[in-house]
Structure 1
């Protein structure tokens, strides 16, 4: 059909599913080609070509943070339009993760594809997932032999830090670099590597006491502010691994009489819905779009094989950064 319509196989897939990013004229051309060929596919009902369950799974460790909720919303928007269902698998503890992996071989009876969000399987775990015979889509990392959607976390971390350096800051801290979280997440590790690379290139000392506690939630934000108030020489700028943590920190800073950005510059990560209201300078990754793109590419991969894409990230300047006093 692609040859008949003079378009790519992926375009045929999108057009027959009624997905976005297909021009009306192109969609009409594909439908006309299908009619000429007498083809009445299940794609017209927006089904996966080789699927039996008409269901896609999504597995993640956390569903109570903004990032994951936006990913789910993006995935669901595409699947719903395609007439497919979404089932969620929570692996919020090591035990639940292992149970999920141990049962992976039976996934093909329940789902046609699986989106991995912050899952980061090692080679042995990838093998367990491959036993399921379902399509895999890694969101946030590259997975050899399978489709993936990611951003360049190293470059994003470097650019966020470079912004603070360009303002004249030399006492720069990072929040969320706790060893436990970094070991579990190559995403965070890459951002930290970018942070360190920017400091090294500028000849700025990487001070151990400026690696501050705080994971990825609003509740974790205050910990970093409490920590810097106990330092003899506190940092003048902080790079947060997520906007949620940064937003929590901004409220705590006010309670300690710390003015942002006059006393402390802050850069976040994600571009949370509240970031504009809080005037938070941040690295914007289009999170909901990432989820939608992952779902679209998974459907396309059913026709054209594994697809890999790196999505650009933008520095959004608002009111939380300033030259140091």
Structure 2
């Protein structure tokens, strides 16, 4: 243990707009030592997700920000190296929230055991993890899609959006995805099986979206905001439901110079009797057992598919997160920290 070094990435500065590599710092420190009830983990995979941008700001939100000089937070898959908890033994593979580092100490009660024979362990960070559960709980609890309805989702090539569209189709609804660029649009249509996909980078994007939704939109799963919302709003049907999961177009604090949307939006809420509900997936934690069972079955039957974008090396996590916020990833973004 004495000769081991724990590499970790901490928040060095709060971003001003888009994050920069200098906002992060790679450190080498002694490895942590587990106390009674804890385990020492070797981190194998780190999840990168859009919400991390919000944690870098010192602003009031649904969760506290990452402190300066503290390890960047994030979901991880790790291997137990040392255990002082009766439920875990060395070699176990577990899901934890250990952040951007190579080794971590966690309380054994906070870990979820993973079975690599049941599904690749990386899926615990994606389709069988927080992003998949976000799609499942937000769509089914707030969106409540019915057979024959039209469900539209932005960022449809990402882990949340892709899962939303596929669950919508399982419910008998028509799934329309919004994605950026030909490669992402092809992934949404050809691999994830959406009924239609629209490229938001097209100059006539609003017209293309309207053509893809001839009967209007009954459920809009919001991941982006901004100009995409402007194209969606006129197509919303009476009693449409809008789960608001994310607003990635605004995460970097870039001023929105379009016309004020609030007045127009509230008028639509009133005259169309819209349901607009922001949510954080942990609000629906009691649904997780049902989610794990349903999603495992859909994956086994091939009814839900997923794509992973894996980056090698902890040191590459900052640049990978910056790329995620700019839409450079294709599928669920994961950093391979060590070989499984």
Do these two structures clear the TM 0.5 threshold for a shared fold by scoring above it? no
TM tier relative to shorter chain: 0.3 to 0.5
Q: Which one has a larger percent strand, Structure 1 or Structure 2?
A: 2
Q: Which one has a larger percent helix, Structure 1 or Structure 2?
A: 1
TM-score when normalising by structure 2:
0.34
TM-score when normalising by structure 1:
0.36
Return the index of the structure with the highest Cα Rg: 1
